[in-house]
Amino acid sequence: MPRLLVRRPSPRLAEGELTHIERVPVDADLALQQWEQYVDVYRSRGWEVIDIAPADEHADGVFVEDAVVMFGDVAVVTRPGADSRRGEIETARATLEGAGIPYLQIAEPGTLDGGDVLKVGRTVYVGRTLRTNDAGIAQLGDLLSPRGWNVVAVPVSKVLHLKSGVTALPDGTIIGYEPLVDDPRFYPTFEGVPEEHGTAVVVLDEHTVLMSSDAPETAERFRARGLEVVTTPISEFEKLEGCVTCLSVRVRD
């Protein structure tokens, strides 16, 4: 059974870090409802949900993928680029230990946010951003190359994280909203999408993707490709540069 690591949103969610967009009001109660709907998508499809201990003092703690990234059956515990997020690591690591998931660790002076990591086959694209530095990318390469992964650094300047601009469909096609992608030529197969919030998908299985409900035209394009598309509202997280990928860590069998 696949497992899902999540952390409920903090009541201080509206105070989360912002880099590329203007701050607008965030409804914490609506955010909690949307988070519960998001988690229910996985639960309804047979995923076991594992809750990371709440960290209400950390406004961005709900974005758990920035703290932990899975590579097969091994996790990498990151070292977030924002000082305000470093305290999220201890509870994430404790959850991995409790779940029996082995892990590796990014260490100082490296910084790495999981939102900057996109896996396509055995290739790992890593965004070089304000949150992920060259030392973090180099460490990740050193950790993963003996395990058969190829780490490729990608420049990112238009969005917070690499996966704020691009993700991948089940067949490996990289998708993104072109005005937010620095250089699509970095990817062997790239397809533009018509809506900003259509850039992010989570691959649930080889035929199914999960995405924001705020990109209906993009969803129809994916359905036309033969994919089942599951949508869920995440407007309050999108106001904080979040998306469907960063709200969970997927541990697949």
**Which domains are present in the chain?**
3-251 (3.75.10.10)
| Residue environment code for 95-122, b if the CB has 16+ CB neighbours within 10 A, otherwise e | bbeeeebeebebeeebbbbbbbbbbbee
How confident is residue 145, by pLDDT bands cut at 50, 70 and 90? very high
Query: pLDDT at position 18, please?
Result: 63
- The pTM of this model reads 0.96
How confident is residue 23, by pLDDT bands cut at 50, 70 and 90? confident
Q: What value does the mean pLDDT take over residues 155-164?
A: 95
pLDDT at 20 over 80: no
Least confident of 19-33, 195-209, 216-230, 233-247: 19-33
Catalytic residues: 161, 246
Q: What value does the mean pLDDT take over residues 143-151?
A: 98
* CA distances (Å), origin 142, targets 55, 104, 151, 229: 31, 11, 9, 36
In this structure, what token pair is assigned to residue 176?
């993104």
Query: pLDDT at position 16, please?
Result: 77
pLDDT at 156 over 90: yes
Q: What value does the mean pLDDT take over residues 205-229?
A: 98
Overall size of the chain counted in residues? 253
Beta bridge partners of residue 168, listed in sequence order: 174
Query: pLDDT at position 108, please?
Result: 97
Query: pLDDT at position 253, please?
Result: 74
- For the chain, the average pLDDT equals 96
Query: pLDDT at position 123, please?
Result: 98
The pLDDT tens digits for 78-94 are 999 999 899 999 999 99
Over pLDDT 90: what percentage of the chain? 93
The pLDDT tens digits for 98-135 are 999 999 999 999 999 999 999 999 999 999 999 999 99
The pLDDT tens digits for 172-194 are 999 999 999 999 999 999 999 99
The answer for 192, left when phi > 0, alpha when psi is -120 to 50, beta otherwise, is beta
**Which H/E stretch holds residue 250?**
strand 249-251
Q: Is the peptide bond before 194 cis (omega within 30 degrees of 0)?
A: no
